[in-house]
Amino acid sequence: MKQKSYPLRPTGGEIRDLAQPGYYSGFSTLAQKKKWDETTRQVVTERVEKVPPLRFFSSGEAELLTAIVSRVIPQDDRAADRMIPVHPAIDERLFKNELNGFRYEDMPPDREAYRLGLKAIDEMAQKRFHEPFVSLTVHRQELILKSLHDGKPDPAHRIWQRMPVHRFWTLLAEDCVTAYYSHPWAWDEIGFGGPAYPRGYMRLENGLPEPWEVDEQRYDWNAPVDSLSELDEQGAPPEQVLPQAHGSSS
Amino acid sequence: MSMLNHHGHRLGSMQTLPAPMRKYADRETVDYCIVGAGSAGGVLAQRLARAGFRIVALEAGPFWDTEKDWVSDERGSHELYWNDLRITGGKDPLALGANNSGKGVGGGSVHWAAFAPRFHPSDFRVYSEDSVGADWPISYWDLKPYYELLEQEIPVAGPAWFPWGDPHGYPYGPHPLGGVGDVLVRGCAKLGLRSVAGGPVAILSASHGDRPHCIYRGFCIQGCKVGAKASTLITHVPDAIDHGAEIRALSMAARISLHDDGRVDGVLYIDRDGNEHFQRARAVIVSGYAIETPRLLLNSACSGHRHGLANSSGTLGQYLMAQAGNVVAGRFDELIRLYKAPPAHALSEEFYETDKRRDFARGFAIQTVGPLPAAFAKQMMNAMGAWGWGLRRVMMDMNHWATIGVLGEILPWEDNRVELAEEKDQYGLRVAKVTFNLHDNDKKLIEFGKKRVMEVMWAAGAEQVVQESRYAHLVGAARMGSDPATSVVDKFGRTHDIPNLFVCDGSILPTQGSANPGLTIQALAARTADYLIKQGDAIFFSNRRDQCEPGIRYDLSPPYTNFKGNPRVA
Ligand SMILES: Cc1cc2nc3c(=O)[nH]c(=O)nc-3n(C[C@H](O)[C@H](O)[C@H](O)COP(=O)(O)OP(=O)(O)OC[C@H]3O[C@@H](n4cnc5c(N)ncnc54)[C@H](O)[C@@H]3O)c2cc1C
Ligand code: SF4
C-alpha cells in the first residue's frame, strides 16, 4: 500500500482567462435547468442573474474585503464576465444579519467580527509594508493572509488578542467557499451534477457520468509561481490550529 | 373550532397535506400540548390523536410545503436549520446550526441523512458492563418491539441480515451502491471487517403508499423533495392531522406555566407576528431537541422551581452528548462522484462494542458520508488546511474523493451541558449556552476510530487520506433514570417533579451508543404514547405514578404500514 500524499504536479500551462476552468469542458449545469423543479430553478437562476447590492460594508471596507476574498478564493484564471460574486454574498448575509445558528463564546457577533478582522488586516499591512492592503502586491497580500491561516498573525495585532485568529479565518474562509461553490459556474468547474429533481441519477457506480454530464479531461495548470496558497508537494496541512467545522454530517 | 384549508400543500412529490386541519380556539383546553413537531413530536402527535386525545403541537418553524419551500441546492436549504443564536463554548466547543437541529414541522428528520440503525442491547447497560456512563431504566428488549414497528412505519430499507447487536433484517430491500459505499465495502472487505450496504436507511427502495422510491440525487440533507426519505412531516404528521391534531406552525413556546397545585396548565407561546398566546393543556410534552428542551425548562423557572422546571435533581441540562463524527477523506485515481446516491448507504459496526484489549470503553461505527460541494470545500479547508489556489485545485478533484465517517460514542459527563446565556433572541428569551469538553475515554476512542477508518480508506485503494474532526447528533441533557436525584424523567418520559409534564425527544437518552439516534428517538416516542394512552385520564387528574409497562399497540400505525415483515431469528 503506497501511502503517498498529494500527487506531484509537473509544470503545466499558465492560468488564462478561462470561461470555464476545471476538467469538465463543455459541461454546464445551467443548461439542464429546464429539467429542474420550479423553485430550484428560481433560486439558482437568481443567484447567477441578480447579484445583491452592497449594503452592509462601506465602499472602503468593500474594496478591502474584495481584495482579501480574491486571495482566499482566487479567480485570476476566470474570464472577467465569468467571475463568481463572493463578497456580495458576504455583504448580503451580514446586511440581513443571517446567523449560522451559533456563536463561539470567545467570538464577537459576525458583523463585529468582520469589521474587526478587516481593520486588523489593513493595519497589519500598514505596519509591515507601509501601504494599505489593497495596494499591496498579490504576494504581500498572501503573506499577511497566510499568517492568519497559520494562526500566527505577522505582524501581531491587538485585535487578535480579543478575537481568536483561527476562528476569524474559518468564518471568513467558510463564507468565501460557500459563496463560490454554491454557484453553478463552480459546479461546472468541478463536475458536480447540480440539482437533480425530478430527474434523478441513473449511473451510481464507477464514477460514470450521466448522459448529460461529461467525462473528466485532465490537464496541468500552474498557480502563479510565487503563490503561497498552493498546496505543498506533500499535501501536508500547513501547521495551524485546526478548528472544528460545521456543515453536513450524518 | 374553525377549519383551515391547505389545498395543494405538497408533502413530497405525490402526497398532499390533508385538508382541512382542525384548529383550536385560543381559549380551548386541549389534552396534550406538545412543544416541537420534530422526530419525536411528530410520532407522539400521531399516536395520541389516533387514540382520540385533543392535541396541539406548537412548532417554532414553518409548516413546509416541500414543493414550494425546498430546493435541490445546498445554500438554498439554509432555512431548514435552527439558525437562531446559541452560544457554544468549553474546551472542545461544538459547531451548532446546520450541523445540528432543524426548525419547522418534521424537525431534524427533515434534514437527517436517515441512517436508521438500532442501538445494541449493551447500550442500555453501559454502567453495568463498563463502569462508565449510565444504565437506562429500560432494556433493549423493552424497546425492540417499537424498533420493529417504526422500521415498518417510516420504513427502513436495508440488508436482509444485519449481523451486529441483536441481529435482524429490514422490511424493504437495500439500495444500489454508490461510489462512496463501494469504497467502504471494498476497504472493509480487504481488512476482514464485515459491512452492510444499501442501508439501514429510512429511505424507500420501493414505492410505498403515496411515497415514491429514491431517485439517488444525493440531496437528503437538504430535505427530500421526492418524499422517498422519511421525515415525520410526511410519515406521521399527515395521519395526525387526519385524526384531529392541530400542528400550529410558527409558534415559539416561551415558557411552560405551573399552577399552584404543582401541575402545569399550559404553554405561553409567541406567534409569527410577535404576539403572545396561552395554550391551555391538561398535560404538556416537551419535544424540542436536546438544546431547546432544557432551554425551555430552564426559561420556565418560577417560584418553587428557581432553577428551572423539573430540575430538583440539578441535572437538567447536564450529561449532554454528541457523537464523534470525524470525516476521513480519501483521494482515488479513478472517479467516484461522491454526490450521487444518498449520503447514508453503507456502514460497519465491527468496532461498536467495548473490546477489553483497547484502553477505552465502548466503540464506534463506520459510515458513508456524502458532502455536497460547499460542505466538501469546508472539509478540505479543515482536513488539509487548503485555501486559495490549493483549495481551487483540490476542489477540481472533488469527483476523485470519497468520504467515510467515524461515528463514535462519547460518554455522558456532568460538565457537558446546556445552560442559559445572558444574550436574548428575537423573542426576548434567553438563549442556550452549550459547553462541551472531551474526556480521556472520548479522546482515546476518537484517536483509535480515526486510525481504523483511515486504514479502511487506504485498504480501499486511496492514494491520499486526510481527516477532519467534527461532532454530530446531540442528545442527553434531560436524561431518564429511576433515581429522581440523578435524572430528570422516569422511564416513560414523565418528569420526576411534575406529574403532568413530560419530556420526549433525544434529550432523555442516558447514553447514545454509536448508532445514529433518530430511530431510537421515534421508537421511544411511540412507547411513551402507548403509556399515555394506557393511563388515559389518570395523567390529567392523578399524581400517582404507575410504572407498569403499557404493552405495545399494533393498531396505531399510519395507514398501509404494518403489513411488511421484520426478518429476525425466531
Ligand atoms: C445534518 C444532519 C444529519 C443527521 N443525520 C442523521 C441520521 O442519518 N440518522 C439519525 O438517526 N439522525 C441523524 N441526525 C440527527 C437527528 O436529526 C436528530 O437526532 C433528531 O431529529 C432529534 O430529534 P428530536 O425529536 O430530539 O428533535 P428535532 O427533530 O430537532 O425536533 C425538535 C423540534 O422542536 C421545535 N422546537 C424547539 N424548541 C421549540 C419551542 N420553544 N417552541 C416550539 N417549537 C420548538 C424545533 O423547531 C424542531 O422542529 C442528523 C442531524 C443532522 C443535523
Ligand atoms: S437521494 Fe433519495 S432520499 Fe435522498 S434526497 Fe434524493 S431521492 Fe430523497
Position B569 confidence tier, pLDDT thresholds 50, 70, 90: low
The residue whose C-alpha atom lies closest to atom 8 belonging to ligand 2 is B224
Residue by residue, DSSP assigns B514-527 as TS-SHHHHHHHHHH
Tens digit of each residue's pLDDT (9 = 90 or more) over B397-452? 999 999 999 999 999 999 999 999 999 999 999 999 999 999 999 999 999 999 99
Alpha carbon distance A138, A228 (integer Å)? 10
CATH number at residue B425: 3.50.50.60
Alpha carbon distance A214, A23 (integer Å)? 9
* pLDDT of B525 strictly over 90: yes
State which residue of chain B sits closest to A190, comparing Cα positions: B396
> Å from A56 to nearest chain B CA?
20
Task: Name the nearest CA neighbour of A154 among A124, A134, A115, A181.
Answer: A124
Q: Residues of A with CB below 8 A from B367's CB? A: 250
Mean pLDDT to the nearest integer, A187-195: 97
Q: Where are the alpha helices (DSSP H) in B195-301?
A: 232-235, 237-242, 289-299
Alpha carbon distance A192, A28 (integer Å)? 10
Higher pLDDT, B430 or B560: B430
Residue B458 domain-assigned? Answer: yes
Reported ipTM: the value is 0.94
pTM for this structure? 0.95
Which pLDDT belongs to residue A222?
Answer: 86
Tens digit of each residue's pLDDT (9 = 90 or more) over A67-105? 999 999 999 999 999 999 999 999 999 999 998 899 999
Per the CB < 8 A criterion, the answer to whether B256 and B472 are in contact is no
The residue whose C-alpha atom lies closest to atom 38 belonging to ligand 1 is B288
> Å from A200 to nearest chain B CA?
5
Q: Where are the alpha helices (DSSP H) in B312-387?
A: 373-384
B97-108 burial, b for 16+ CB within 10 Å, e for fewer?
A: bbbbbbbbbbbb
Domain that holds residue B176: 22-541
Alpha carbon distance B498, B398 (integer Å)? 53
Local structure of B327: helix, strand or coil: strand
The residue whose C-alpha atom lies closest to atom 51 belonging to ligand 1 is B112
Alpha carbon distance B373, B379 (integer Å)? 10
Of A9, A43, A102, which to mutate for an interface test with B (greatest number of B Cβ within 10 Å)?
A102
CA of B343 to the centre of ligand 2 (A): 9
Residue B472 domain-assigned? Answer: yes
Which pLDDT belongs to residue A9?
Answer: 40
Q: Residues of A with CB below 8 A from B335's CB? A: 206-208, 216
Position A1 confidence tier, pLDDT thresholds 50, 70, 90: very low
Mean pLDDT to the nearest integer, B492-505: 98
Q: What are phi and psi for residue B363, nearest 5 degrees?
A: -155, -150
Per cent of chain B over pLDDT 70 is: 98
Which pLDDT belongs to residue B8?
Answer: 86
Of B217, B392, B398, B465, which to mutate for an interface test with A (greatest number of A Cβ within 10 Å)?
B392
Residue B553 domain-assigned? Answer: no
Q: Which positions ≥6 away from B261 have C-beta within 8 Å?
A: none
Which pLDDT belongs to residue B559?
Answer: 87
Which pLDDT belongs to residue A249?
Answer: 43
* pLDDT of B570 strictly over 90: no
Mean pLDDT to the nearest integer, B482-506: 98
Which pLDDT belongs to residue B563?
Answer: 67
Task: Name the nearest CA neighbour of B474 among B504, B444, B505, B496.
Answer: B505
Residue B389 domain-assigned? Answer: yes
Per the CB < 8 A criterion, the answer to whether A234 and A6 are in contact is yes
Q: Indicate the number of domains in chain B.
A: 1
Position A242 confidence tier, pLDDT thresholds 50, 70, 90: very low
Query: Using the 8-state DSSP alphabet, how is residue B152 labeled?
Result: H
Would you call B391 and A186 a contact, using CB atoms and an 8 Å cutoff? no
Position B388 confidence tier, pLDDT thresholds 50, 70, 90: very high
Q: What are phi and psi for residue B211, nearest 5 degrees?
A: -120, 125
Position A13 confidence tier, pLDDT thresholds 50, 70, 90: low
- B226 C-beta closer than 6 A to ligand 2: yes
Tens digit of each residue's pLDDT (9 = 90 or more) over A129-174? 999 999 999 999 999 999 999 999 999 999 999 999 999 999 999 9
> Å from A115 to nearest chain B CA?
20
Task: Name the nearest CA neighbour of B59 among B231, B226, B233, B316.
Answer: B233
Per the CB < 8 A criterion, the answer to whether A76 and A224 are in contact is yes
Alpha carbon distance B27, B185 (integer Å)? 58
- B217 C-beta closer than 6 A to ligand 2: yes
Mean pLDDT to the nearest integer, B376-389: 97
Q: What are phi and psi for residue B535, nearest 5 degrees?
A: -70, -30
